[in-house]
Chains A and B, each alone.
Chain A
């Protein structure tokens, strides 16, 4: 199982190369394709915070690819816009072709329009984004039809459900890898959320809740919060299940934060590969990052484990 990290600058690529991650994901600004703030990358060009979340042009992408490939790091290209308009297919195809030309190893697709348009078009790995939210194993058959080589799972699954999906791929003998989120998860289903602002912000916010008659008012209720962030205590199980890639989410987050997370997870994976037990991996991490327990453990932000939140999964 390899760690996959978000890159939105050359500095980020260099940082992750130094940390020794296995994969990165990266997109490119779409200004030269006639788009201004919107992009094909699954994010707008800048977030509400003003933070840029992709590279400025394809020459930067080429540089990132060279940096990564020199360290055997796989480059996943974000072409995972979740609603690709039919009228912009030509521009989207140009975007994907430029990415392939720059040498990326795989293209992440997030829209059903794009999936149909790219089927059998290029000799490159296609990955299906979590924007398709495959909650059961039979989704695998759907993506196999499109020759998808990697399926990216939603965060709101249990380890048992993840295993069912991985086992089904093996049972069907499909050539398909499975990627899961390793750190940071949204409250809502990715791809079916329209309240996203600066991550994670609104969904984890505190609400005043009331009924239609404005009775029974309760304040400061985190009613929509379902965010689960951490997989440190599930790394062994995810590895044993056969997960290929563990993704750190955070194209809009600070380099300091994602760099720290990448470094901590990379070390945890190193310990795991040397046979260290989960409790010891966690203890070592807490020694290095004393804020972790307060941020994640005390709030039960354990992504694939049974928690207060998963009790209420439909």
Chain B
């Protein structure tokens, strides 16, 4: 097992290069500006590689304004080392990298592409009246399939897939592992929803890409008060049912995505996977460095992982 620290803040890079983490990653799965806002990315890449740590560059879905800049970062990084890995979250980017012979290996499929209905707020209700066969499969993620993994390994030479730690995702990871894929698990939070609009930027009245890089290092929390309805032609806000209020408490908002904490202690049995399984800890999910160090130590020491 390896531990990956996904940095939201490279000011403390030197500290983390001397930490227990095996892998340092930079960027974000849902916002390109997290990577693009790093000054002198090439210098950062060189520094991480020189430290002996493994490096993963994380890309998001990419609209046209950021596309060329992301391509240039990948090209620059590849020139530094061919051992760097890349998280891809956009089929357009994936096919572009292949067709233009920019990247033909070291590709990890991210959570924008690998998602499931297990994260859906009413997932248990949706499947409660289904047969055992449907219940056991409906909430699996879309890369929990040998057909899909084989296709992307053959056509795009992917080598890994990121899953969350929810139970059906773990089942899916086993399938991907059996197909020869490396498995990455995201710690602490799973993604509920992703938008193109950056919620944090709007809340703070800053445009994405213009000094917004510090905004999503700390979360905003949100609890639903009223839902919006359309009653015939008129719109109004009403207080939702208790069930809805309960499910919409304490949502965690970073940038353009909404997250939830895993609902209960989730156990990963190391024996189910192999030594190259990676646990991703996102720096911004934790209150401080002490908490990060405690969690990484417990992962390194333990055989069972809680949240």
Contacts and interface: CB of A to CB of B under 8 A. Distances in A.
Given A35-B130, A38-B130, A84-B142, A135 B92 contact: yes
Contacts, number: 272
Interface stretch (B3-11, B46-54, B73-81, B201-209): B201-209
Greatest chain B CB density within 10 A among A85, A200, A210, A214 is at A85
Contact of A86 (B33, B67, B147, B248): B147
B38 interface: no
A302 to B, nearest CB: 14
A219 B225 contact: yes
A279 interface: no
A209 B233 contact: no
Interface string B45-70: 00000000000000011111011000
Best-buried of B99, B129, B134, B226 by chain A (most CB within 10 Å)? B134
Interface in A121-149: 132-142, 145
Given A206-B237, A210-B221, A256-B232, A142 B92 contact: yes
A34 B223 contact: no
A38 B208 contact: no
A132 B142 CA distance: 12
A211 B220 contact: yes
Interface in B115-151: 115-117, 119-123, 126-131, 133-134, 136-148, 151
**Most central of A44, A138, A145, A200 by chain B CB within 10 Å:** A138
Contacts of A196: 120
Contact of B230 (A34, A137, A253): A253
Contacts of A197: 121-122, 227, 244
Nearest to B228: A204
Interface string B242-276: 00100010010101101000000000000000000
A309 B221 contact: no
B92 A194 contact: no
Interface string A91-132: 000000000000000000001110011000000000000001
A194 B144 CA distance: 18
A195 B91 contact: no
A34 B131 contact: yes
Interface residues of A, number: 84
A204 B226 CA distance: 9
B233 to A, nearest CB: 5
Interface in A10-54: 34-38, 44, 48
Contacts of B201: 312
B118 to A, nearest CB: 9
B305 interface: no
Interface stretch (A71-79, A185-193, A237-245): A185-193
Interface stretch (A1-9, A57-65, A221-229, A266-274): A221-229
Given A37-B130, A83-B141, A197-B244, A211 B221 contact: yes
Most buried by A among B130, B142, B201, B226: B142
A295 B228 CA distance: 12
A257 B233 CA distance: 7
A208 interface: yes
> Which of B31, B137, B209, B227 has its CB near the most chain A CB atoms (within 10 A)?
B227
Nearest to B249: A208
Given A38-B138, A83-B117, A135-B62, A312 B130 contact: no
Given A113-B145, A194-B120, A313 B130 contact: no
B142 A224 contact: no
Nearest to B60: A314
A205 B218 contact: no
B223 A193 contact: no
A136 B222 contact: no
Given A138-B95, A141-B95, A223-B203, A156 B230 contact: no
B40 interface: no
Contacts of B31: 314
A203 interface: yes
Contact of B151 (A116, A164, A214): A116
Given A38-B130, A132-B91, A192-B112, A314 B63 contact: yes
B104 to A, nearest CB: 16
B203 A221 contact: yes
Interface string A149-167: 0000010110001001000
A288 interface: no
B304 interface: no
A183 to B, nearest CB: 12
Nearest to A85: B137
Interface stretch (B18-26, B187-195, B294-302): B187-195
Given A197-B121, A214-B221, 20 more contacts: A36-B129, A38-B126, A48-B122, A86-B140, A112-B143, A113-B145, A132-B91, A136-B92, A137-B92, A142-B92, A156-B197, A157-B63, A198-B229, A205-B237, A206-B224, A212-B221, A224-B199, A254-B232, A312-B207, A314-B60
Interface of A: 34-38, 44, 48, 82-89, 111-113, 116-117, 132-142, 145, 154, 156-157, 161, 164, 187-189, 191-198, 200-212, 214, 219-221, 223-226, 253-254, 256-257, 260, 289, 291, 295, 308-314
Identify the 4 closest CB pairs spanning chains A and B, nearest first: A138-B92, A156-B196, A85-B137, A139-B92
